A and B are shown apart, each in its own frame.
Chain A
Amino acid sequence: MILLIDKDPISADSIGYYLESAGYDVLTIFDPRGAADAIAAADPELVILEVILSGMNGLALCQALKNDESVADVPILILSVLSAEQRALEAGAQGFLLKPVGREELLTSVRRILSGESALSATAK
């Protein structure tokens, strides 16, 4: 199961559609304040996180999740309209994609992260 944290239902629907078409279960939340609890409860294989969240910075959330022992092992893919790959790396994310993203590009990154690889570009690494 993949947990998607975004601010925009329409954008989240598109991402959810691509993931579900590849056989993943998707849970979407729009209030990032409940992220840690949602992760602990849902135990996702992967978290996909936007930087521009309602009232919150997704990079700061990423860092906070990585600092929380109870959820730190869950890999995070930052998927954002903001060009922030280097900052995603510094925040502890395993991957970064710039919106808008196509189906194949998204699924390739998801598969790489779930198989334990990084989905950051060579320059970011």
Chain B
Amino acid sequence: MRDRISTGSPAFDSIIEGGFPPNSLNIIMGLPGTGKTILTEGLIFANASPQEKAIYFSTVAEPLDKIVHYMQGFTFFRPEAVQDYVIFEDLSRVLREEGIECTVARIAALLREHEARYAVIDSFKALRSFCSEDDFRRALQELAAVATSLPLTFFWVGEYGENDTHHLPEFAVADSVIELVLNKVGTRDNRYLRVLKMRGSGFLGGEHSYRISPQGLLVFPRLVSPMSSPDYETLGERALTGVEVLDEMVAEGLWRGSSTAVFGPPGSGKTLLGLHFIFKGMEMGEKGLILSMQENPIQQARIAASFGWDIAAAIDSGQLRIMYVSPVEASIDEVLYNLTRELDESSAQRVVIDSLNDLEAAAGDLMRFHDLTYALLQSMVVRGVTLFLTAEIPDLFGTSYLSQFGVSHISDNVILLHYLREESEVKRAITVLKTRGSQHDTSIRQFSIDQTGLHIAGGFSKGTVFAH
């Protein structure tokens, strides 16, 4: 049995079990501008060879010259292949002057003449405009029969909408259907693809983010909750936080492989606590990874240096990696995809994500954010990574609603940094609200920040009255 036909993108391949089934008939659908032509062009250039030719048939949606002109800007385009083993054929003239029957005959003749292994008709939907529905159905049947008689993987591209899939006959004929979607969310364009159908084969369902780059489509498969690996065991070791008293408050440190959500208002010390956690880890021989959507690398280095930590040296030694992502531009799928790749490449054992607020903004959709956050936490667990997540809460004083991210109930540990007013003074306080599988100190402790970091003192004296 032939191997699967790669899409040209390993990430996309992973969504459809390694690629399209060989000798299949596939519809690539989506509105104009979603990247259908780029996807199919990338695919044929990735697969075509002198022994396995590809033919790209353009119909009437876009002039062939324009398609070729723009394709030359992509890195997958190989000019030496053009008209040798990636053949471009313009069907517009035969379609206009001789009709659909002659067009189908022309397609069949060229497929046989070149013994093509891959072929694209773009736009397939546009063929409908040149004939009656009956003639189109006859043409469809003939094309499907030709495709079945040859060792050919065929792609029909069209500006179909979801409603079309329910009643147009080409969707019944197709072995698979891939939809490309472009949504406007705020000031951003969110692109995602979905597999609507894949006959005889599994696929990862749901929406997978992508963007268009000079390399073609960059696909970011959505993060899914992993199945536990057969040799997964709950790690029985503790990960020290780097703040001595905090370790005592959580019974000698956090469980290795656990997730800790640190909530606090602006300026309360969340990022600092994350730095303590990361640098303590490095001290103990554990590599670290920081995903920052708050401070850029220069700001991070400056903050760390003010407490005596040398981020540059840690990076140079290979002990630390920092990912900075602009919260305005990021898509959550791309962020999490790149995070898991960095994690696997670096073998980091401690990860700080700063902050959940920015991840939520990158998700653009609260349900998607909750699903992906759950999957993220589970991914860290099976990797044995100890995770620190920061989350900003709006209230400076008083009790806060911590469940806005849906994280406090799924993370193993929850720490709250807060401000308390005592008469005319504002004091910093830390409370451990939850530790799964462990005892913790439930007292509210005062803490301070100086040039050596965060320091926790004792509790507040009895009778201290706090204003809200």
Contacts and interface: CB of A to CB of B under 8 A. Distances in A.
Interface string A45-62: 000000111111111100
B113 A55 contact: yes
Nearest to B82: A82
B330 interface: no
A84 B65 contact: no
A82 B110 contact: no
Interface string B28-70: 0000000000000000000000000000000000011100110
Interface stretch (A3-11, A21-29, A35-43, A109-117): A3-11
B93 interface: yes
Nearest to A58: B83
Interface stretch (B84-92, B208-216, B223-231, B392-400): B84-92
A51 B92 CA distance: 18
Give the size category of A's interface with B.
Answer: 20 to 34
Nearest to B88: A52
B234 interface: no
Contacts of B65: 8, 11, 52, 81, 99-100
A55 B87 contact: yes
Nearest to A84: B79
Contacts of B90: 7-8, 52, 54
B448 interface: no
A52 to B, nearest CB: 5
Interface string A85-99: 001000000000001
Interface string B411-446: 000000000000000000000000000000000000
A77 B425 CA distance: 85
A30 interface: yes
A8 B68 CA distance: 13
Nearest to A11: B65
A55 B110 contact: yes
A55 B92 contact: no
Nearest to A10: B63
A56 B64 contact: no
A81 B93 contact: no
B338 interface: no
A54 B94 CA distance: 11
A55 B89 CA distance: 7
Given A8-B64, A52-B64, A82-B79, A57 B84 contact: yes
Interface in B72-111: 72, 79-80, 82-84, 87-90, 92-93, 110
B95 to A, nearest CB: 12
Contacts of B113: 55
Contacts of A84: 79
A8 B92 contact: yes
Contacts of A100: 65
B443 to A, nearest CB: 72
A99 B68 CA distance: 11
A57 B81 CA distance: 10
A118 B113 CA distance: 36
A67 interface: no
Contact of B83 (A8, A9, A53): A53
B92 A82 contact: no
Interface string B324-336: 0000000000000
A83 B79 contact: yes
Contacts of B64: 7-8, 52, 81
B83 A60 contact: yes
Contact of A52 (B80, B82, B92): B82
A57 B63 CA distance: 18
A45 B63 CA distance: 30
Most buried by B among A30, A55, A83: A55
A52 B66 CA distance: 12
Contacts of A7: 64, 90, 93
B82 A54 contact: no
| Interface hub of B68, B72, B82, B110 (most chain A Cβ within 10 A) | B82
Given A52-B64, A81-B69, A9 B84 contact: no
Contact of A51 (B63, B69, B83, B110): B83
Contacts of A58: 83
Contacts of A30: 93
Given A55-B113, A57-B83, A60-B83, 11 more contacts: A7-B64, A9-B93, A11-B63, A11-B65, A30-B93, A52-B68, A52-B82, A59-B83, A82-B72, A82-B79, A99-B65
Interface of A: 7-11, 30, 51-60, 81-84, 87, 99-100
28 contacts: A7-B93, A8-B63, A8-B64, A8-B65, A8-B90, A8-B92, A11-B63, A30-B93, A51-B82, A51-B83, A52-B83, A52-B90, A54-B89, A54-B90, A55-B89, A57-B83, A58-B83, A60-B83, A81-B64, A81-B65, A81-B69, A82-B72, A83-B72, A83-B79, A87-B79, A87-B80, A99-B65, A100-B65
